[in-house]
Structure 1
Amino acid sequence: MHISDHVLRCFLALADAGQFTVAAERCHLTQSALSQMISRLEERVGMQLFNRDARSVTPTDEGRRFAETARRITADLDRAIADLRDIATLQAGQVALAVVPSLAVVWLPQVLQQFHQRHPAVRLQLHDQSSVRCLELVRQGVVDFALNSQPGTPHEMDAELLFEESLYLVCPPNHPLARETQVTARSLTGLPLLHTQGTDNMLVRTGKGMRGARRALYEAGAVDSGFEVASLATLAGLVASGLGACLAPESALPQFSLLPTRAVRISPRMMTRPIYFVHQKGRTLSHAARGMRELLFRSPRPGSVGASTARARSKK
């Protein structure tokens, strides 16, 4: 007798049900057909696998041991089939991702366009949120992963460094620093800065380690202007109107290039912004999400395409 997947599943159905009648229904067999199958299986393995009486059927010691192996075999087969189906779902499927708003201006749309061209039937769901909210969406299982400046806590998140991007001081054309080629800590001393509400949550890498962006700016000598807004678009408008300067990651520069502003690079030795690929620890990414991850890690970082154009425009 050939011990097929079907035979193993019928054996497990009987071991779980404890009655031929119930197990036969689950296996879509007649009771006599199931009984004959189990008898042939016992002949094949050379020992009795079930104790039988008028009311119930229970596995023997050998039957229980065989059941453990049978469960592993069927589970492995199910996983193998699921993996193949995951591959096929690139013809359907979905990728849900959360991202901090600055990355959603130019850089990420370019990556998503490439992915959509390769896999047009895969549905893409994008949540542009604050860094704190991005982590919440990962934690809640709403998204497959997040692109975030915060890596999350190690016991619940897996975080891979995707890239580090430069930071810029964006100011109106008549600002004292507008003609500088690079901003240092000395340049920021006493300088009032505008902020978005996300500045507190944006982590930057400094010579003193990881810091919240606002704290890092104050440690460098900048002061609070008293202006705080919710969106990059509003921040760009305030800067263009001459109300002050602000900190902006390179990926956000296209948002400012639409208005009369200038972007001056902050010394990389002073601070940069890391961006992490963050997903829930212990949760396996779907095949579609893995495909998106591979494309993200292969793509040029911000500044090599869109942001460089924005810098050129902002300095005109």
Structure 2
Amino acid sequence: MRIDFLGLHAFVAIAERGSFQQAAAHLNLSQTALSHRMKKLEDDLGVRLLSRTTREVALTPAGLELLPKVKGMIEGLSASLQDLRQHGKLRQERLAIGCLPTIAAGRLPGVLARFRAAHPDVTIRVFDNSATEIADLVDQGTAEFGITLLAAHRWDFEVELLAREPFVLVCPAGHPMAAAAAAGWAELEGVPLIRISPHTGNRMMIDDALGSRREQLSWRYEVQHVHTAVSLVRAGLGMTVVPRLALDTVEREGLAVLTLRNPQVVRQIGIVSKRSAPLSPLADELRRLVIQAFAAAEVAHS
């Protein structure tokens, strides 16, 4: 049976006020429209709920039995709707995303500055974590979307490609190789190298691209962060291989950056979100700003 919410609402208004006239004014209806609603409800139920005389309106036994049940239903529904409104309001005022650390430190701040200009009161939480952690955060709903590696995205994620980013060689500016625009991996044999932790997607991509050739290279140092690796290069301890975007926040004085070839290692950066959880309007707006920022950067690099 379809529930006549309009009729039940009219019934409660009349019962609480004891008057069709006052109930009609409260519901912003004419008395005729209110009477039609009550007649339809009583016809559907097959019982009289109100006893109406020229002087007063009284509840029938069926009406007395029904009234507390209907009021409880309406109050429960109102509370549920209020909770939904509050949840929606909080979701609009707070936003959480995941982002690779190199992008969070380099390209993301400019995007967030543009977003804040339009939405100064929105609180944003950035999980600047690894690609694996970002995937988990998006899957759990903790982050609405992630800016991350697309090497092994999941079937239940929506994926948008932002950029294909090459890995580059960073060496001391005074090194003989520094004058060249590019270098091959074969030229690095015997050169002290600094690599990043094996727990990062970047390290895995390099290892996969080089295959057994990686064992012929002289990996002298291993660090956890790109900035640490670059600092060791600046100190003359060796060279390092990092994604090009990782250098956005690095002071390049004393350094030379070379294109790497044979093989060229490229990582794909993109936005991932959960298919079953549409983005909130604010998250979608921030997503569009991220796409615009990467598109503008690609034009600048071309």
Instruction: Give the TM interval when normalised to the shorter protein.
Output: 0.5 to 0.7
For the residues of structure 2 that align with 1:268 and 1:146, how far apart are their CA atoms? 31
For the residues of structure 1 that align with 2:43 and 2:151, how far apart are their CA atoms? 56
* Structure 2, unaligned runs of 5 or more: 24-30, 48-60, 67-76
Q: Alpha-carbon deviations, 1:160-201, whole Å to 9, x = none?
A: 112222321111224343222123344455655322226742
Are 1:266 and 2:255 matched, yes or no? no
Q: Alpha-carbon deviations, 1:35-64, whole Å to 9, x = none?
A: x9997337569x94335595977xxxxxxx
Change (3 A) 1:166 1:258: same
Aligned identity (percent) is 24
SS of 2:179's equivalent?
coil
**How far does residue 217 in structure 1 lie from its aligned partner after superposition?**
3.7
Q: Alpha-carbon deviations, 1:216-257, whole Å to 9, x = none?
A: 244665625142211222111111122222221121113442
SS of 1:121's equivalent?
coil
Alignment-derived partner of residue 195 in structure 2: 195
| Larger Rg computed on CA atoms | 2
For the residues of structure 2 that align with 1:150 and 1:287, how far apart are their CA atoms? 24
Which aligned pairs between 1:287-306 and structure 2 lie closer than 5 A? 287-301=281-295
Alignment-derived partner of residue 124 in structure 1: 124
Change (3 A) 1:258 1:147: same
**How far does residue 148 in structure 1 lie from its aligned partner after superposition?**
0.1
- The 8 Å contact of residues 161 and 271 in structure 2, kept in 1 or not, is answered as yes
Are 1:30 and 2:22 matched, yes or no? no
Alignment-derived partner of residue 103 in structure 1: 103
Which aligned pairs between 1:1-316 and structure 2 lie closer than 5 A? 9-10=5-6, 24=12, 30=16, 40-41=36-37, 43=39, 48-52=43-47, 54=62, 93-150=93-150, 153-188=153-188, 193-197=193-197, 200-202=200-202, 212-218=205-211, 223=217, 225-258=219-252, 260-267=254-261, 270-301=264-295
Tell me the amino acid that sits aligned with residue 40 of structure 1: H
Change (3 A) 1:175 1:30: same
- The 8 Å contact of residues 162 and 269 in structure 2, kept in 1 or not, is answered as yes
More helix by share: 2
For the residues of structure 2 that align with 1:307 and 1:103, how far apart are their CA atoms? 16
Number of positions where the alignment pairs a residue of Structure 1 with one of Structure 2: 258
- The 8 Å contact of residues 166 and 273 in structure 1, kept in 2 or not, is answered as yes
TM score, norm. by length of structure 1: 0.65
For the residues of structure 2 that align with 1:263 and 1:120, how far apart are their CA atoms? 38
For the residues of structure 2 that align with 1:99 and 1:148, how far apart are their CA atoms? 6
Query: How large is the RMSD of aligned CA atoms in angstroms?
Result: 4.2
Tell me the amino acid that sits aligned with residue 229 of structure 2: L
For the residues of structure 1 that align with 2:198 and 2:44, how far apart are their CA atoms? 64
TM score, norm. by length of structure 2: 0.67
